[in-house]
Amino acid sequence: MALAWRRDGWTVEFIPEQRGGPPTPDFFASRPARRWAVECKRLERSMYAVNESVHGARLANPVHALLREAGPPLVVEVVYAAELQDVPDDYLVDRVREALAARRGGWADATAIGRLRRPDAAGLQQVMARDDVYYGSKRMIQLTARALQPEWDYSFSGRWTPAEGRPFYATDLHHASVVGWACRAPRALEMKSGHFRRTLVRAERQLPADRPGVVHIGLETTGEARVDRERFMANLIETWVYRPENRRFRWANVNYFRSEVSLERDTNWDFDETFAPLKIGRHTTPQPVPGQALVAIDGPIRPGVFF
């Protein structure tokens, strides 16, 4: 972030953190007659989202056991309408068992909507004929499931042959099951979107009151239009209604990063970046680094998110 300000013509001064001392920003930026305090945050998953992922894996594990023992290779996709912490441990495996017995492709009830489908064996075999694939990796899951929902959590299980000299890589996959899930419970969405506001509160406490302050937030986005739009609008509303205690807090600048999920070689680091400046409170202070990209420094940057 400091390099981004330097590229825009600002002089940057880092502020050493003092253990046990008062909260401080990451750096000061200055120009003639202008000066800013800058705090940087990376918006990682909230503890609620982490716990939700753990509960989802708890529900998925019995499904993998069922399919390993007697079931076919299968991809199970679930959208929960209830918070995962409230879903009984045997709910998902019971629904899958019932659907297999009745030869149904899915189910729908008050707890969740689910779908069962076969994995993409042909695509997987085509790639593994020439490549060893890291067992349980996103690439293996994508090859097996044929398509991933970027904002979903996934669990994978399979019988496989380790590659010679590369024990964590599979040279052959004999049986695979994938369980993917998302939660659309209103309280779950509220808890996850509230993480942005809590990040603003923590960052604001590190800004001094003797100069205007800006908080830069790096956010890894899913790239799925509806989810990104909902999250962006939730973040925008949070800044509209946010009332800072520090009246010099002016802007929250969000840099959204979207990884390019591709099966092509040498694309592990491909991603898109967009920039969304969010005004804090009512003021006329101009944006200090308009349209500022962190990484994509060649050419113009697209504003907003990936709609």
Q: Contact 290/300 with Cβ under 8 angstroms?
A: no
What is the rounded distance in angstroms from the CA atom of residue 216 to the CA atom of residue 220? 13
**What residues contact 153, with CB distance under 8 A and at least 6 apart?**
52, 53, 56, 57, 180, 181, 182
Q: Which of 41, 115, 43 is nearest to 78 (CA)?
A: 115
Q: What is the mean pLDDT of residues 85-98?
A: 96
Range 84-121 burial, b when 16+ CB lie within 10 A, else e: beebeeebbbebbbebbeeeeeebeeebbebbbeebbe
Q: Which pLDDT does position 64 carry in this prediction? A: 96
Q: What is the pLDDT of residues 11-29, one digit of tens each?
A: 999 999 888 888 999 999 9
Q: What is the pLDDT of residues 250-287, one digit of tens each?
A: 999 888 877 665 556 665 566 677 788 889 988 899 98
Q: What is the pLDDT of residues 95-139, one digit of tens each?
A: 999 999 999 999 999 999 999 999 988 888 888 888 899 999 888
CA 51 to each of CA 5, 84, 121, 188: distance values in angstroms, whole numbers, following the listed order = 36, 9, 32, 11
pTM (2 decimals)? 0.69
Is pLDDT at 307 greater than 50 in this prediction?
Answer: no
Is pLDDT at 190 greater than 70 in this prediction?
Answer: yes
Q: Which pLDDT does position 122 carry in this prediction? A: 82
Q: Which pLDDT does position 22 carry in this prediction? A: 87
Q: pLDDT category, 206, cuts 50, 70, 90?
A: very high
Query: What is the residue-averaged pLDDT of the chain?
Result: 85
Is pLDDT at 57 greater than 90 in this prediction?
Answer: yes
Query: How many CB atoms are located within 10 Å of the residue 15 CB?
Result: 15
Helices (H), the chain: 2-7, 47-69, 91-102, 121-128, 138-145, 186-204, 225-241
CA 194 to each of CA 104, 188, 233: distance values in angstroms, whole numbers, following the listed order = 38, 10, 12
Q: Which pLDDT does position 182 carry in this prediction? A: 92
Q: Which pLDDT does position 146 carry in this prediction? A: 84
Q: Which pLDDT does position 168 carry in this prediction? A: 93
Q: Which pLDDT does position 148 carry in this prediction? A: 79
Q: Which pLDDT does position 92 carry in this prediction? A: 97
